[in-house]
């Protein structure tokens, strides 16, 4: 067995594995799934359409370093993501922008709000709904209440069983209000989809003579952690373990469960080229599901069939897939206990959405893996 073992073949694990391999070190990557790519995994269905069984994934980043690194493993299709909100049957752009404003109000009222927004918030600004709701100007607060009630409140309750203000600024800032006609969901400089999909890109990352990949291998069954020592198949292991699974799993859930939201996906194929007006439509005032994604709109290629998925969010129970860490102070405090426990193991490194218990996008997963690689190299005095 190699002296560096990475648990998890998602984007975090694959990035760190590739960086070690490129510097000449042997690494073993294990994953309990039969597939690589973690939640970014995609595959081609029986009609030849690329689908994402663990939910819609769109790549976007401000980080040139991340884009350049991933570009070694894939070519890209330019793709700018646009989302519509279904407000009581009316489709308007989300993030809520000036087009949405004019679609939701009479011309005279929209004009008034527009003028107040430009004066008080500023043209081309992006502002979080929670900030807008607290604004000193009552007309802005009125407008904010409309957006809050029609875009954020019900969607957030469906997704998290919490109110937007309970989730806090960091989550709400992911989807701001635009004081502009910007109609893209993301404003990052780099917005692309991998030409042959995420699985192909991550396969290329892991295809390296220094990387051994073991799928269908659960770390829980091969590792144990006791009194600052790591055991691999019963024998003390003095190598490095980069762990991207749930941290609470390593320690037998001894401080309690870290809460997650899970998703139920309902896929459906239609014998027609298009189902809806945008790749994603968010149901912000009605229905039990949060959004519908139409995968054929990601590829922008002509098709005579189309596939959609509806997402239903629920509390993650034992056996469910942990998709979203629930970002509250209480949960972070519980996570800190596990983190402190993990720090007793000098060569155990936690990484990724699960092990770090953080709500991050793919680019941050890659960036964090790059940083961790540097840290491990330095701490262990490895030669680059």
Residues at the site binding ligand UDP, with contacts judged by CB under 6 A: 85, 94, 151-152, 155-156, 159-160, 171, 174-175, 282, 284
Cα–Cα distance, 209 to 201 (Å, whole number): 17
> Shortest Cβ contact with ligand FAD: which residue?
38
8: partner contacted, choices ligand UDP, ligand FAD, none (Cβ within 5-8 A by kind): ligand FAD
Cβ-defined contacts of 222-231 (< 8 Å, 24+): 222/30, 223/7, 223/250, 225/250, 225/251, 225/345, 225/348, 228/344, 228/345, 228/346, 229/345, 230/345, 230/347, 230/348
Least CB distance from residue 262 to ligand UDP, whole Å? 12
Cα–Cα distance, 58 to 81 (Å, whole number): 8
282: partner contacted, choices ligand UDP, ligand FAD, none (Cβ within 5-8 A by kind): ligand UDP
Residue whose structure tokens are 């149901």:
283
3-class SS of residue 330: helix
260: partner contacted, choices ligand FAD, ligand UDP, none (Cβ within 5-8 A by kind): none
Q: Which of residues 8-47 bind ligand FAD (CB under 6 A)?
A: 8-13, 30-33, 38-40
Nearer to ligand UDP, 18 or 261 (CB): 261
Least CB distance from residue 151 to ligand UDP, whole Å? 5
Confirm or reject binding of residue 197 to ligand FAD (CB under 6 A).
Answer: no
Least CB distance from residue 326 to ligand UDP, whole Å? 11
CA 215, chain centre distance (Å): 22
Confirm or reject binding of residue 220 to ligand FAD (CB under 6 A).
Answer: yes
Q: Give the residues across from 193 on adjacent strands.
A: 77
Cα–Cα distance, 360 to 226 (Å, whole number): 30
Cα–Cα distance, 284 to 122 (Å, whole number): 26
For strands 27-30 and 211-214, give the pairing. Answer: parallel
Options 57-65, 144-152, 230-238, 299-307: segment touching ligand FAD (CB under 6 A): 57-65
Longest Cα pair distance anywhere in the chain, in angstroms?
A: 75
Nearer to ligand UDP, 55 or 239 (CB): 55
Confirm or reject binding of residue 244 to ligand FAD (CB under 6 A).
Answer: yes
Cα–Cα distance, 144 to 150 (Å, whole number): 10
CB-CB contact of 263 with 313 (8 Å): yes
38: partner contacted, choices ligand FAD, ligand UDP, none (Cβ within 5-8 A by kind): ligand FAD
Confirm or reject binding of residue 354 to ligand FAD (CB under 6 A).
Answer: yes
Count of residues of this chain found to bind ligand FAD when the rule CB under 6 A is applied: 35
Confirm or reject binding of residue 194 to ligand FAD (CB under 6 A).
Answer: no
Residue whose structure tokens are 């999909």:
197
Cα–Cα distance, 264 to 66 (Å, whole number): 30
Least CB distance from residue 285 to ligand UDP, whole Å? 10
Nearer to ligand FAD, 145 or 218 (CB): 218
Least CB distance from residue 237 to ligand UDP, whole Å? 35
Q: Which of residues 252-271 bind ligand FAD (CB under 6 A)?
A: 263
3-class SS of residue 363: helix
| Binding-site ranges for ligand FAD (CB under 6 A) | 7-13, 30-33, 38-40, 55-59, 218-220, 244-245, 249, 263, 323, 352-354, 360-363, 365
């Amino acid at each position: 067995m190699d002296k560096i073992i990475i648990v998890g073949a998602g984007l975090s694990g694959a990035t760190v594995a590739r960086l070690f391999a490129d510097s000449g070190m042997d690494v073993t990557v294990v994953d309990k799934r039969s597939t690589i790519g973690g939640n970014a995994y995609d595959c081609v269905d029986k009609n030849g359409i690329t689908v994402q069984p663990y939910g819609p994934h769109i790549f976007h980043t401000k980080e040139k370093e991340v884009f350049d690194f991933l570009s070694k493993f894939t070519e890209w299709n330019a793709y700018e993501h646009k989302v519509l909100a279904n407000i009581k049957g009316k489709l308007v752009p989300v993030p809520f922008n000036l087009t949405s404003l004019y679609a939701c109000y009479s011309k005279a009222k929209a004009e008034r709000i527009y003028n107040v927004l430009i004066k008080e918030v500023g043209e081309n600004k992006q502002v979080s709904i929670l900030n807008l709701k607290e604004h000193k100007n009552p007309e802005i607060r009125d407008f904010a209440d409309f957006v809050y009630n029609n875009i954020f409140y019900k969607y957030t309750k469906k997704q998290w069983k919490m109110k937007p203000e309970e989730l806090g600024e960091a989550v709400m800032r992911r989807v701001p209000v635009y004081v502009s006609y910007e109609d893209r969901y993301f404003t990052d400089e780099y917005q692309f989809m991998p030409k042959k999909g995420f699985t192909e890109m991550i396969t290329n990352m892991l295809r390296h003579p220094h990387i051994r990949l073991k799928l269908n291998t659960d770390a829980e069954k091969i590792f144990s952690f006791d009194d600052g020592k790591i055991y691999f198949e019963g024998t003390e292991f003095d190598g490095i373990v980069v762990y991207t699974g749930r941290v609470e799993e390593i320690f037998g859930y001894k401080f309690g469960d870290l809460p997650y939201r899970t998703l139920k996906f309902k896929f459906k194929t239609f014998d027609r080229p298009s189902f809806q007006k945008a790749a994603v439509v968010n149901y912000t005032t009605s229905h039990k599901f949060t959004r519908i994604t139409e995968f054929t709109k990601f590829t922008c290629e002509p098709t005579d069939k189309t596939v959609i998925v509806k997402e239903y969010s629920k509390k993650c129970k034992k056996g469910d897939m942990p998709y979203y860490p629930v970002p509250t102070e209480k949960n972070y405090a519980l996570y800190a206990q596990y983190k402190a426990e993990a720090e007793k193991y000098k060569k155990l490194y936690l990484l990724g959405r699960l092990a770090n218990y953080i709500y991050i996008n793919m680019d941050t997963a890659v960036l964090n893996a790059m940083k961790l690689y540097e840290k491990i190299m330095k701490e262990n005095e490895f030669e680059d």
